Amino acid sequence: MNPENAYAELRQFQIETAYYHSLGALAGWDQRTYIPRKGHEHRARQFAALAQLLHRRRTDPRIGEWLDAVSGADFLSDPAAPAAVNVREWRRVYERSRRVPEELAVALAQAQSEGESAWEQFRRADDWEGFWPYLKRLVDLTREYAEAVGYESEAYDALLEDYEPGERAARLQEVFALLGRETRSLLEAVLASPQQPPAGVLERDYPVEVQARVVRELVGRIGYDLEAGRIDPTTHPFELSVGPGDVRITTRYYPDYLGAALFGAIHEAGHAMYEQGLPAEHWGTPMGEAAGMGVHESQSRLWENAVGRSLGFWRHFYPLLQENFSSLAGVGLEEFHRAANAVRPSLIRVEADELTYNLHIQIRFELELALFRRELDVADLPGAWNEKYRDYLGVEPPDYKSGVMQDVHWAAGLFGYFPTYTLGNVYAAELYGAARAELGDFEEAFARGEFAPLLEWLRGRIHAHGRRYQPRRLIELATGRPPGAGTLVAYLRERFGNLYGL
């Protein structure tokens, strides 16, 4: 078989596999939104069957034969060309997948589905004792998975590779050491400032049906294509791409708190705009996929915070809120903007302010690292969690659902995902700074409702490249310098220094 034919057959096979993934994504969306309560058991078996099918396709010996046939082909000579990128990534996935026994892949998929369903049930009841056996099984299976795929230094690196290719625990520890130290220092100064924002502005009467209408209009106006997506309520907000023309987001609503739905929706819309900006002609291949979850989070965190909490953004959108919420009568623009940027150490990660957010992630990263270094047992997680919240944020959860059981990630087996949120913040600071240097200050543009220039800049620098480059290299090429936590620290100092008169 000549290399060109081998590549064509390999590409077609992988696109067919992507359709199965797409159907699995749709089933996952349904499980986290509208599935009947009694449907979870059957859904777990569906996911197990799908996992078996996908594992067999990922490890199909023909992939190895096709990869051997294209090796050294002239059309792969440029490593940044789409075919070369696809072959490189297909080879990486094939080699990793072959190391995982089929029975382990199936067991993990079923445990992840069962764990997520159990989390929904037991979190609602604040029942750690009922939930933790599911979590222990997930940890045990994930440890097996890490050993199966292999690693150079430590098991956690094997997990990171699935979410942020090329990232390592040792480098993340350096990032968190600097960021954690600088964040706590800045937090101390912010809390001591006499210029504290008003309390309670976001905690008023906000009818859920009105929130849903406002959120839909807002995310549509910043660039989320609603004709190629939808917004639904859920327990834990997420974005999910079914395929070209179908990229969905969710958020959660509280009748007495506006921030969760508002900033949660902007965050998920940032993810969705990335997916909607990936080259559709490359769908089903690595060139049509996001570079990594850190890059993905850079898009959501940039839109949620750098854009969505800016004064220019609210100069444009605050009239929309005042028209729809009588509870904001008498609240001025500046007052609302300061309330939207209020810094208050809190318990819930997804509702944390921009400054303290990375401390929430540092806690989870350190706990995950301890779990996979076998320095911490699953049964001891609640105590370790509460201790770190006392030490890092000065707060302590009164129950499990606002503590160790608040996130869906561990219940879904997503160990190694949490650090990508902070990597996303690091990358977002670099990207926003570079875009601002090139396009000019955004405040007046946002006030006029002009978000397209920033979105188009991101599409050209980030979205269009798919998996052409590893995450850190992609950010370096987009901004002109390697990403580092120092840029994020400078951004936080500038933003909160201005807000709090530091």
Per residue in 67-116, pLDDT (tens digit) is 999 999 999 999 999 999 999 999 999 999 999 999 999 899 899 989 99
Task: Name the residue ranges covered by the structural domains of the chain.
Answer: 3-150, 169-500
What is the average pLDDT value for the chain, to the nearest integer? 95
Other beta carbons less than 10 A from residue 471's beta carbon: 26
Using a CB cutoff of 8 Å and minimum separation of 24, what contacts does 450-455 make? 451/221, 451/222, 451/223, 451/307, 452/223, 454/307, 455/222, 455/223, 455/273, 455/277
pLDDT of 161 above 90? yes
Q: pLDDT band for 212, please (50, 70, 90 cuts).
A: very high
Contact 485, 178 (CB under 8 A): yes
Q: pLDDT band for 199, please (50, 70, 90 cuts).
A: confident
pLDDT of 444 above 90? yes
pTM of the predicted model over 0.85: yes
Q: Which of 40-54, 152-166, 201-215 has the lowest mean pLDDT?
A: 40-54
Q: Which one of 120, 167, 182, 268 is the catalytic residue? A: 268
3-class DSSP state of 189: helix
- CATH number of this structure's domain 169-500, picked from the four choices 3.40.50.1820, 1.10.1370.30, 3.40.190.10, 3.30.70.100: 1.10.1370.30
Beta bridge partners of 243: 246
DSSP per-residue letters across 79-128? TTSHHHHHHHHHHHHHHHHHTS-HHHHHHHHHHHHHHHHHHHHHHHTT-H
pLDDT of 350 above 90? no
Would you state the pLDDT for residue 441?
92
pLDDT of 32 above 90? no
Q: pLDDT band for 11, please (50, 70, 90 cuts).
A: very high
95 counts as catalytic = no
Would you state the pLDDT for residue 47?
87
pLDDT of 351 above 90? no
Would you state the pLDDT for residue 41?
87
Q: Give the C-alpha separation, 338 to 198, whole Å.
A: 7
Q: pLDDT band for 502, please (50, 70, 90 cuts).
A: confident
146 secondary structure, DSSP code: H
Would you state the pLDDT for residue 373?
97
Element (H, E) at 308: none
**Dihedral sign, Cα of residue 308, residue 314, residue 316, residue 317:** positive
